[in-house]
Amino acid sequence: MTPGVGMETRWLTYDGIAQALGITPDSARRLVARNKQWPRKPGNDGRVLVGIPAERLERPPAAVPDAKDDVADDAKGDAGGDITHAVGILTQHIERIEKELSEAKAELAAERVKTAGLQQTVAQLDAIKAVLDAERARVAEWQAIADRFAGMAERRSWWPFGRRRA
């Protein structure tokens, strides 16, 4: 509904709208953005003035709370025992869950200790493997030297008793 003839319009800044409606200035900006038909104009101080219908600025009356006696009479004795029983059941469940949680934490700590031990064992095995690989390389090197000497011995015998007869 656009402000028109016969409708009272109030020109307010965003801060004024917020104060009049009891909302934040950001909420006032969003409200004005949703109502694109409300006119806008610059004010003398350079701030934007928004034309808002006067009925839009009227606040609904605040809700009146129920009388204490009325509410107190309705709630007396209806569910007192039920709440105590429900609280007892919930307390038991909480205790059971806390016990399971502490057991799970203990299991996790034990698994962490095992994992740390396994990681140490893996590191030791890796070190042993590295030493073994180095020794295998040395054996292969010495095997090559031995094969070379064996080949030389076959071609020419330097031992007097082991000469081949042709």
Instruction: Tell whether the torsion through CA atoms of 39, 42, 48 and 54 is positive or negative.
Output: negative
The whole domain housing 46 covers: 1-74
Q: Do 38 and 32 contact (CB within 8 A), yes or no?
A: yes
Give CA–CA dist 156/58, Å, rounded.
Answer: 122
- The reported pLDDT for the residue numbered 39 is 92
Q: What is the pLDDT of residue 163?
A: 56
Q: pTM value?
A: 0.35
Nearest by Cα to 9 from 42, 43, 55: 55
Residue 99 lies in a domain: no
Domain count, the chain: 1
pLDDT reported for residue 160? 60
Which residues of the chain are modeled with pLDDT < 70?
A: 1-6, 59-81, 156-166
Beta bridge partners of 51: 11
CATH number at residue 30: 1.10.1660
Q: Is residue 164 part of a domain?
A: no
- pLDDT of 111 reads 93
| Structural domain contains residue 4 | yes
Is 85 within the bounds of a domain?
Answer: no
Task: Give the pLDDT score at 156.
Answer: 65
Q: Helix/strand/coil (H, E, C) string of the chain?
A: CCCCCCCCEEEECHHHHHHHHCCCHHHHHHHHHHCCCCCEEECCCCCEEEEEEHHHHCCCCCCCCCCHHHHHHHHCCCCHHHHHHHHHHHHHHHHHHHHHHHHHHHHHHHHHHHHHHHHHHHHHHHHHHHHHHHHHHHHHHHHHHHHHHHHHHHHCCCCHHHCCCC
pLDDT digits (tens, 9 = 90+) for 11-50: 999 999 999 888 999 999 999 999 889 999 998 998 999 9
- Whether 37 maps to a domain, the answer reads yes
